Amino acid sequence: MTDTREQFRPDDHPNDHFLLTTVVGSYPKPEWHDTARELFEDPDSEFDVEDWEESKDDAARLITDEHERAGIDAVTDGEMRRNEMVEYFAHRIDGYEFNGRVKVWGHNYFDKPSVVDQVEYDEQWLVEEFEFTDEVADAPVKVPITGPYTLASWSFNEVYDDEEQLTYALADLVNQEIEALVEAGARYIQIDEPALATTPDDHAIVGEALERIVEDVPADVRLGLHVCYGDYSRIYPEILEFPVEELDLELANGDFEQVEVFKEHEFTKDFAMGVVDVHDAEVESVDQIKDNIKRGLEVVPPEQLTVSPDCGLKLLPREVAYQKMANMVEAAREIEAELDAGEIDVAADR
């Protein structure tokens, strides 16, 4: 595939080496934005659609700036307009309906949708979100989009013969949305498939779905796949065949034990490696994150390494999420300088 990394290197980048820094997507919402949602959903409140749209715009503007202040190379708006990674899209796809919340774990509930008719693409999903963020951001904008396999797996299927057929139908819709995003100017798109590593026999289904998704996407668009949870040995090296340039993987939460999985076969994609734990409110030091980044250099050379949190940061306190990002960026820049000086022995280059 075409190397698309250099388009995200800032013009004033201080080092010859470049480790692309980014985020997976979600970020803690400002408390006032949560209050605005509650007011908007309260039938007795005078907080109307115009007020709610203003709150979403203000939150997106604020969090995009927060990503840039942390120094992130490719930013998001923290998904300020989204409530959940499946619900958000199901509300915008014809053929879905909602019948109430189901318990996921602990005290967490999820409004699990049902597919009750053939799924069809009706309204755009993310184009306006991207256009707004791109307008207010100085840095390049990455667009995370939930993949068809997870959309299918985390829904009740009442229409299609099986989950595989539903996945392919949804993949065609994701392809339409990505075409619209590309037309709007998006050049970095991340497909989120957290369900993949939990069901090891379905990587072929995901591969076929991705083939449908990427059809006719221009070569200058960077396509990544984010996977978290599960045992990566169940899907590696098969995922190297997927038609994406970058594989984004959660590793910090498991103390990098699964890094060894990726040494058994040459990692031929770009490696977007989770180097801070989004499930731990303790902020990793710059030195600790540098050590984590070096684990990635055991798998791929610097020109293939992307530095990222494990997953979305939305469950953390906002000040913790920001400091994790800022320390992550500082660690990446220090590693780059040490690479320039020849002070790091890159195991992947041996």
Distance CA 301, CA 297 (A): 6
For 191-241, what is each residue's pLDDT tens digit? Answer: 999 988 777 678 899 999 999 999 999 999 999 999 987 889 989 999 999
Please name the helix (run of DSSP H) or strand (run of DSSP E) that holds residue 165, with its range, or none.
helix 163-184
Residue 265 located in a structural domain: yes
Please tell me the predicted confidence (pLDDT) of residue 348. Answer: 67
Residue 96 located in a structural domain: no
Please tell me the predicted confidence (pLDDT) of residue 103. Answer: 62
Residue 4 located in a structural domain: no
For 52-83, what is each residue's pLDDT tens digit? Answer: 999 999 999 999 999 999 999 999 999 999 98
Q: What is the mean pLDDT of residues 331-343?
A: 97
pLDDT of 276 > 90? The answer is yes
Q: Which of these, 303, 239, 231, lies nearest to 261 by C-alpha position? A: 231
Count of structural domains within the chain: 1
pTM for the model stands at: 0.94
pLDDT of 331 > 80? The answer is yes
pLDDT of 275 > 70? The answer is yes
Residue 262 located in a structural domain: yes
Residue 2 located in a structural domain: no
Structural domain including 250 reads: 19-83+124-341
Distance CA 119, CA 305 (A): 37
Q: What is the mean pLDDT of residues 3-19?
A: 95
Please tell me the predicted confidence (pLDDT) of residue 84. Answer: 86
Residue 6 located in a structural domain: no
Residue 289 located in a structural domain: yes
Distance CA 227, CA 34 (A): 28
Residue 107 located in a structural domain: no
- Helices marked H in 91-153: 127-136, 148-153
Tokens of 274: 């989770």
Q: Which of these, 246, 233, 162, lies nearest to 200 by C-alpha position? A: 233
The order of strands in the sheet holding 20-21 is 20-21, 305-309, 270-276, 246-249, 222-227, 188-192, 143-146
CATH number reported for the structural domain that contains residue 190 in this entry: 3.20.20.210
